[in-house]
Amino acid sequence: MPSRVGAGSFLQDVAGSRRMLFGAAVSAAHLRDAALCEAILRETGSLTAELEMKWSHVERHEGQFEFQDADAVANFAHAHQKRLHGHALLWHRSIPDWAMKAGRLQDDWDSIERFVAAMARRYSGVESWDVINEPIGPAEQPDGLRQSAFLHAFGPDYIRRALVSARRHAPRAVLCINEYGIEYNTPEHERKRRGLVQLLAELRRDGIPLDCVGVQAHLDLSQHHHFDPAVFARFLDELGAMGLQVRISELDVKEKDSDGSVAERDRAVAEATRSFLSVALQNRAVGSITCWGLSDRYSWLDVPAGNRGLPFDTDMRRKPMHSAILDALSQRQA
Ligand code: G3I
């Protein structure tokens, strides 16, 4: 029987004792907040740049790389012995304007290759990369792929080409495909799960370099009644059976439209987290949990203000969600 841990424990300590990793996304601007940094240093074992490594951020002007923000996150991680996860090389929402203009992406794989090479070279300490972010489309498509600018410019092969480039430039890094909207038992999530499994199976069959799948896990209290443990467990089994590592890569909970007192809302967020993680962590392929932020003080869900979907509140106090993650980790067999 796995031992339970005290409520005062830190997330990475418990994760580490279970041979897992706990991480958080951070933004360079937030690293000026001493209270946040203190919590990051205590609680995490790995960091992900929330914005700063995206193509649109690094290469705002063609051929001119601006690394200072990404460096800030990478240097902080290095200075504090945190692992660094690279996010994200190809994402349809982070293509620079110059590359989007007048179909400029068409026939210009060189610009992608140059970006991948530049990132891999500068951030050679990155242990894992989201090479492709969100390739699966929400709408019905025979191959399940998102109708993105990458797909239109290069056809479905863009995924293989990107993975091959990433392996060439970052030969030691764990290469990931990261996806959202695959957690619930709804027709849309099921369609995306099928599309993702089909894509992964084809990549594995053809020996394309790929090591890992990120399940983003942006949970939503208004949808959480659609969480079906058996369906989600079966999906994780499918991923694990392909020999892929699985990461819970962007965990948070959308809840600001919920009714009830703050205490009730925090309890509901913790409950959703607990139910989700208790299934996820039963699968041995799942090796890490990353929250998309650590504190409600800085969350993409907090725009406009009011969401309480991360382990710490805006005053940097632990919330029931913190205990839910601790409990889930502590129940995992080492
Ligand atoms: O920093 C500027 C600020 O100066 C300006 O006043 C403000 C006005 O809109 O914008 C600020 O930048 C915003 C930035 O977040 C920081 O808040 C950008 O407009 C906004 O586009 C950016 O959104 C980020 C988004 O990715 C796009 O890069 C979110 O913070 C970030 O959480 C989100 O992360 C994504 C993952 O990469 C992929 N999975 C989903 C996840 C959530 O959408």
Of ligand 1's listed atoms, the one at least distance from the Cα of 133 is 38
Could you read off the pLDDT of 133-189 as tens digits, one per residue? 999 998 888 899 999 999 999 999 999 999 999 999 999 999 999 999 999 999 999
pLDDT (0 to 100) of residue 4: 58
- Atom 30, ligand 1: residue with shortest CA distance: 300
Span from the CA of 48 to the centroid of ligand 1 (angstroms): 14
Distance 60 CA to ligand 1 centre (A): 15
Count of alpha carbons within 13 angstroms of residue 291, beta-carbon side = 29
| C-beta pairs of 52-57 under 8 Å, 24+ apart in sequence | 52/27, 52/28, 53/86, 53/87, 53/88, 53/119, 53/123, 54/87, 54/88, 54/91, 54/94, 55/89, 55/90, 55/91, 55/94, 55/95, 55/96, 55/99, 55/115, 56/94, 56/95, 56/96, 56/97, 57/94
* Longest CA pairwise span in the chain (Å): 60
Q: Is 29 left (phi over 0), alpha (psi -120 to 50) or beta?
A: alpha
Read off the pLDDT of residues 88-125 as tens digits, 9 standing for 90 and up.
999 999 999 999 997 789 889 999 999 999 999 999 99
Tens-digit pLDDT profile for residues 309-319: 999 999 999 99
Q: 256 or 207: which carries more pLDDT confidence?
A: 207
Which pLDDT value is given to residue 43? Answer: 98
Instruction: Find the 290 Cα to ligand 1 centroid distance in Å.
Output: 17
Q: How confident is the model at residue 281 (pLDDT cuts 50, 70, 90)?
A: very high
The residue nearest atom 25 of ligand 1, judged by CA position, is: 51
Nearest to 139 by CA among 150, 147, 131, 149: 147
Distance from the alpha carbon of residue 299 to the mean position of ligand 1, in angstroms: 9
Cα of 237 vs centre of ligand 1, distance in Å, is 32
Q: Considering only CA atoms, which of 313, 312, 245, 247 is closest in space to residue 277?
A: 247
Q: Give residue 221's identity as a one-letter amino acid code.
A: L
**Confidence at residue 1, expressed as pLDDT on a 0 to 100 scale:** 44
Tokens (6 digits) for 166: 């990433």
The pLDDT confidence band at residue 244, using thresholds 50, 70 and 90, is: very high
Q: What's the mean pLDDT when you consider all of the chain? A: 96
Confidence (pLDDT) at 283: 98
% of the chain exceeding 70 in pLDDT: 99
Q: From the CB of residue 165, how many other CB atoms can be counted at a distance below 10 Å?
A: 22
Cα–Cα–Cα angle for 264, 265, 266, nearest 5°?
90
**What number does the ligand 1 atom closest to the CA of 25 have?**
32
- Taking only the tens place, the pLDDT of each residue in 4-31 is 577 789 999 999 999 999 999 999 999 9
CA of 3 to the centre of ligand 1 (A): 39
* Nearest atom within ligand 1 for CA of residue 51: 28
The two structure tokens encoding residue 130: 């989201």
Report which of 294, 292, 253 is spatially closest to residue 275, judged by C-alpha positions: 253
- pLDDT at residue 11, rounded to an integer: 98
Taking the C-alpha atoms of residue 2 and residue 331, their distance in angstroms, rounded to an integer, is: 6
286, amino acid identity: V
Ligand 1: residues with CB < 6 A are 50-51, 54, 93-94, 133, 180, 216, 250, 300
- Smallest CA separation from ligand 1 atom 32, residue: 300
Say what percent of the chain tops pLDDT 90. 91
Q: Using the 8-state DSSP alphabet, how is residue 179 labeled?
A: E
